[in-house]
Amino acid sequence: PPQDGTIAARLKAAGAIILGKTNVPVLAGDLQTYNPTFGRTNNPWDLERTPGGSSGGAAAALAAGLVPLEIGSDLAGSIRIPAHFCGVYGLKPTEHRVSIAGHIPDLPGSPRSVRILGAIGPLARHIDDLELAFRIIAGPDGFDTDVPPVPLKQEDPLPLQNLRIAYTPTFPGVPIASDICQAIDRLAMELAYECRCLEECLPGVDFAQQKGLYFQLANYVMGVFQPLPEGAQPASLADYLTALHQRDSFIQMWEQFFDRWDALLCPVAMTTAFEHCPMGTPLPVDGEPAEYWDIVGYSAPFNLTGHPAVVLPLGKDQNGLPIGVQIVGRRWGEERLLAIAKTIAPFTGGFQRPAGY
C-alpha cells in the first residue's frame, strides 16, 4: 500500500513497533486461515487444528508469543472465534466505532463496499491491552465518514454486586459442544453468588429469522467481490433497504434487552478449534456433524446488530483445547463492557501458554 491505514498510523504514532502482517484467508472470507500465497496457519495448541479466521494469524501469533498485541477485523466472528480457538482475549467494537479506512481497499473504480456488519478491534493476552489498544484506535479520522465522534469515557471499576448479568449456554437452533455449555454454566454458578442479579435469559427475538437476515446482508456485502451464482438475480435497492429496516428491529430488541441487563454471557462458537478441512465441510460437535457455517451462530448475531462483544479465555475442553466466553453489551458502550469484563476476568482463568511456547 502507498500509505498506512488509519489503525496502523495511529498505533505507530502511539509508539507501537509493527513487525508485519499476520495471515488471513482469501478476502478474509473463511473461519480458517489458509490462502494459496502464504499457505496455512496452524493453532499453537494443536498444529492439526485451525486457529480460526479470518484473524487466525493474529490469534496464533499471540498464543505462540510472537507479539503482545494484534489487530483483527470481524464481519462474522473473525476476531472472536480465533480468540476462542487460541485462548486469547479479543474485542469486536460497536460497528463504526473504529475507522476501517485502508483495511480493505476497494477495487479500482468501484464504490466503497464494506460499510456494514464489520468492525476492527484488538486481540491480546491481557484485557488491559485490549483497553489500551481500543483507546488508541477508536474515533473518527476524516476518511471513514461513518464513524461518529463518540467520546471515550473513563469507567470506574464495577463491583459485581452492582451488576445485572444475563447468561445462556446456547442460542435457539444453534448446536453447542457439551464442554462449552458446561463451562458457561460453571462460570454462571460462580458469578451467581457475587452479582446483584444473574439469570439465564435471552431477548424474544426470532433467532432463525435473525440468522437468515445476517446471511442476506453478508451476501450483499461479499457480492461486490464475488460473481453471482449462475441464474441468481442481483439485489435491488428496495431489497437492501428492506433488509436494513428489518435489521433496525433486531437492533431495537437487543437494545431493549440491555436496558434491563448490563451484559450477556454466552458462547463464542459451537465447538473448540477443529481440524483443518476444506471450507464447507460439516464440523463435529460432540461427534455429530453440524453445518460448517453454524460456527458463526453465536458471533454473527452481533455483527448484524453492531453490538460490541469481548472474548475472555475460559479454561479448556476435554482435549485440552481453549474455550472462550463472549460478553456482549449495549452499542457504543465499549468502555463499560471492558470494565465489566475486567470484573469477571478473575473468574475465567486468563491466558495460558500452549505447551512448548
pLDDT digits (tens, 9 = 90+) for 105-138: 777 777 777 889 999 999 999 999 999 999 999 9
Residues 6+ apart with CB under 8 A from 350: 126, 313
| CB-based contact 258:329 (threshold 8 Å) | yes
Has residue 232 got a pLDDT over 90? no
Kindly report the backbone phi and psi dihedral angles of residue 89, in degrees, each rounded to the nearest multiple of 5, phi listed first. Answer: -95, 150
pLDDT, greater one: 105 or 162: 162
> Is residue 59 over pLDDT 90?
yes
- The H or E element containing residue 89 is strand 89-92
pLDDT of residue 225: 65
Instruction: Report the relative pairing of strands 263-267 and 164-167 from DSSP bridges.
Output: parallel
| Measured distance CA(15)–CA(5) in Å, rounded | 16
Taking 70 as the threshold, does the pLDDT of residue 148 lie above it? yes
Convert 290-328 into a string of H (helix), E (strand) and C (coil). Answer: ECHHHHHCCCCHHHHCCCCEEEEEEEECCCCCEEEEEEE
What integer is the mean pLDDT of 191-196? 95
- Asked if the model's pLDDT at residue 331 lies above 70, the reply is yes
What cell was used for 83? 480468540
Across the range 154-171, mean pLDDT stands at 96
Q: Is the pLDDT of residue 213 over 80?
A: yes
What CA–CA distances, in Å, run from 336 to 154, 216, 306?
9, 31, 16
Does the pTM of the predicted model rise above 0.85? Answer: yes
Tens digit of pLDDT for each residue in 253-310?
999 999 999 999 999 999 999 999 999 999 999 999 999 999 999 999 999 999 999 9
pLDDT of the residue at 175: 98
Per-residue pLDDT at 251 exceeds 70: yes
Q: Which helix (H) or strand (E) holds 21?
A: none
pLDDT(43) > 70: yes
| DSSP per-residue letters across 216-240 | HHHHHHHTTTSPPPTTPPPPPHHHH
Tens digits of residue pLDDT in 71-90: 999 999 999 999 999 999 99
Residue 230: pLDDT over 90: no
Comparison of pLDDT for 157 and 12, the residue scoring more: 12
Sign of CA dihedral 154, 157, 160, 162: negative
